[in-house]
Amino acid sequence: MIPRRIGPSLALGLASAFLLGACSSSNGSGTGNAAPAAPVTSATPAASDPAAATTAAGAGDASGQPATTAAVLTRSAQGLGSIVTDDKGLTLYRYDKDQPSPSKWTCSGTCTKTWLPVIVPESVQTSGVEKSLLGTVHRNGRTQLTLAGWPLYRYVGDTAAGQTNGQGKDQEWYAVTPSGRKSTATG
């Protein structure tokens, strides 16, 4: 059973996913337009539990569909220290080629088949991440989450909560810390 507050978000997320798929670019380049920060609310204990917050629309996959999330959390990852995850416990990453000020994404086309942009609804819950550091950037009619200005992504190779398989990929992709920095800890 889907809780009432997730139902409308789920429907909106599914509709938006189809629109984004129909409109996405495949040329491998793109620009982002900065947007005001998404309203953020503190996570309740139930919302901070990844299993309780999971929705089918947020899964994202190798087809390049965006990764939707309604919450960001801080977790400890072996060898990386504190990192940020989505509401499913999947690691969030930042891309060195993106820009934080003003927020601008550069991963598009085939890049988004491997690195799924984290798309958010109107409000995002947080636990362990400073609310003032969260924001959004427009992405092909959708709203991508940013942390300290950096657009956030999920790695398609992370298939279970707690995995950090995208860490250091191509020396450009890094798990993001709660302050928005790239995680470079090695243990």
Give per-residue pLDDT as tens, 156-175: 999 999 999 999 999 999 99
State which H helix or E strand residue 93 sits in.
strand 92-95
Band of pLDDT at residue 65, cut at 50, 70 and 90: low
In this structure, what token pair is assigned to residue 73? 């959390």
Band of pLDDT at residue 66, cut at 50, 70 and 90: low
Average pLDDT over residues 143-164: 96
Concatenated DSSP letters for 98-160? SEETTEE----TTHHHHEEEEE--S-EEEESS-GGGEEEEEETTEEEEEETTEE-EEETT--S
Instruction: Tell whether omega for the bond before 102 is within 30 degrees of 0, i.e. cis.
Output: yes
Q: What is the CA radius of gyration of the chain?
A: 15
Band of pLDDT at residue 122, cut at 50, 70 and 90: confident
Closest CA to 50 of 178, 161, 165: 161
Better-scored residue on pLDDT, 163 or 40: 163
pLDDT tops 60 at residue 89: yes
Q: CB–CB of 92/120 below 8 Å?
A: no
pLDDT tops 50 at residue 119: yes
Band of pLDDT at residue 67, cut at 50, 70 and 90: confident
CA-to-CA distance for 122 and 111, rounded, in angstroms? Answer: 25
pLDDT value for 31? 41
Q: CB–CB of 30/97 below 8 Å?
A: no
Question: Helix, strand, coil shares of the chain as percentages rounded to 5?
Answer: 20, 35, 50
Q: CB–CB of 120/17 below 8 Å?
A: no
Length of the chain: 187
